[in-house]
Amino acid sequence: MKGYDVVVIGAGPGGYVSAIRAAQLGKSVAIVEKEKIGGACLNVGCIPSKTLLKHSEMIQDIQKANSWGIQTGELSIDFPKLMKRKDQVVRTLTQGVDYLLKKNKVTLFHGTASVNQELLVTVGDEQIKGQDILLATGSKPFVPSIKGLNQVDYLTTDSFFDLKEIPKSLVIIGGGIISIELAFATAPLGTKVTVVEVADDILLTEDPDARNIIKANLKRLNVCVFTKAVISEVKQNKVILDDQELFYDRLLVATGRTPNLEIAKELGLELDEKNKFVKVNDVYQTSREHVYAVGDLIGGYQLAHAASAEGIIAVRAMNGENPRSLDQTVIPRCVYTHPEIASFGLSEVQAREAGYDVSVTTSPLSANGKALAMGETEGFVKVISDNHYQEIIGAVIVGTNATELLGELLGVKHSEGTMHELAGLIHAHPTVSEAIGESANMIFSQAIHV
């Protein structure tokens, strides 16, 4: 049996980043992964979905170019070749993570881990001991109880990216972020997409104005969206609602994810009040001393970058430091639709409920020169601020590369800047980022182009 300062279970973004940071702090580190390095994000989530979205975006760009006068002729799609490129992107990144683990002298164990009450970790025939244990075991697709679903062949977000041919028709059960991203990824490839959501609307976690833009673009892509749906039954090749039948070539169930709690239950770790996630303190220590948990296991934002940030705080705590707890209001939230949605912090409603005297300024991209030149005028920059100190409370950007543009606002907030500093920045012209300056200047009635 070999001992380590830290044993990390799970090699997704929460796990491998934590393991590397622990090694950088001088710890001896082992990491255990039962499937593929990189976890769900690299293998069946963030990276493959963004790769397919890029393919679909290029198709829309070609169609736009044709309408502008650049004639390309008939468009044909080699789907297996697109998927081969997706596989290569994933392989490059997972091999990169493997290299980084080796570079930082993190010992990798492949296999399913179990942990006993003495914190002895068993992986196959091997046993290892960690002074501290970090659980980053991630999550798996949640499959709701729907009559007939277990009798038909359906895809989840874990199996969707194994498709060998593009479906002629795809019904997606679920209207959350992953579902809508995959609708945007497949519809431009020629798939007839139908989204079925039982809630009042799709993308309920997002800004209402952003949501309206996305719904309009789904309509342009001929994606049918059913909300407040009552699913009576699922049969092979059709979903039966209370008032109609929806036929499909392939069925995707994308209704969220549920945490992998097997090891947490082995250790008898305390769960939260809803008995769904592992309960942790501000530095991600569980109810058991020397056992920490991060990522999808603990709820909150189920995002790769959130899990990585949590893991870094956890290993710093293991190192005897006193790290500052993670500020949830500065975690960026991204939706890779077309256009993209990027946001952080509180919405206008949440800010008012929290007691802020709120101002909301919105700069539409329809007035932005670069957006006009690109033909990408759908969208806006919205900033929520406090009237007393002009503190930046939250922001929403909708537009091309919104997920990149959000960094400027986050950088100003992170450095304790206010709307004064944001309004004083000189932006290059023409850039879409000029809309950020315009939105900031609006609060002082000094916007030029709005």
Q: Where in the sequence numbering do the catalytic residues fall?
A: 429
Minimal CA–CA distance to 79: which of 165, 162, 159? 165
Half-sphere exposure of 37 (CA within 13 A, CB side): 21
Taking phi over 0 as left and psi of -120 to 50 as alpha, with beta for the rest, 375 belongs to: left
Residue 119 in tokens: 């914190």
Could you report how far apart the first and last alpha carbons of the chain are, in Å?
67
β-bridge pairing 29-33 and 107-110: parallel
Whole-angstrom distance, CA of residue 226 vs CA of residue 236? 20
What are the backbone angles phi and psi of residue 279, rounded to the nearest 5°? Answer: -85, 130
Burial class (CB in 10 A: 0-12, 13-18, 19+), 232: middle
